[in-house]
Amino acid sequence: MKKIIALFILAVTFASCGEEIKFNSPAFQANKNGNIWKANDMTAFSDAGGLTVIAAVGTEIVTLHTASANPGTYTLGVNNVNAATYESVDGEGALFATGTGVGSGKIIITPNQATGTISGNFQFVGEDEEGNEVIFTEGTFYKVPR
């Protein structure tokens, strides 16, 4: 009887040790002004003008644009081709952007083994028309479909 009870306790112990693993693919997230910002909807597309990655959560939208979809580092705040924007469309709305002489940051596109997706990292400081800033750090996008 003691062996049956010990076996039962052992079985219950191992059964309760199960861990549910959830993969986050595709993913788009960053720290926005020190708080986690994680998109629940994202897409990417390439055209003659380069690569555009769009991610949204609720009424907030982040758009990253580079001159090419090729792996590499694209510097922001130098021109209007490589750019990042953050837009909040609720209430009065706000638009923060990088551009020629405005804001700073970089978008790094990494080589991707999965076809039809794009991955990389980013960080940027975007400015609105009044000079207010939004800061995105430690940004990553992973296997975003295109």
If phi > 0 it is left, if psi is from -120 to 50 it is alpha, else beta; for residue 71 that is beta
Query: In the prediction, which pLDDT does 91 show?
Result: 66
Query: In the prediction, which pLDDT does 111 show?
Result: 85
How far apart CA 118 and CA 6 sit, in angstroms, is 52
Per-residue pLDDT for the chain (146 aa), expressed as one digit of tens each? 555 555 555 455 555 555 555 556 789 999 999 999 999 999 999 988 799 999 999 999 999 999 999 999 999 999 999 999 999 987 667 899 999 999 999 999 998 777 789 999 999 999 999 999 999 999 999 999 98
On the 0-12 / 13-18 / 19+ scale of CB atoms within 10 A, 132 is exposed
> Hey, what are 75's tokens?
């510097």
Query: In the prediction, which pLDDT does 2 show?
Result: 55
User: Is this prediction's pTM over 0.75?
Assistant: yes
How far apart CA 102 and CA 24 sit, in angstroms, is 33
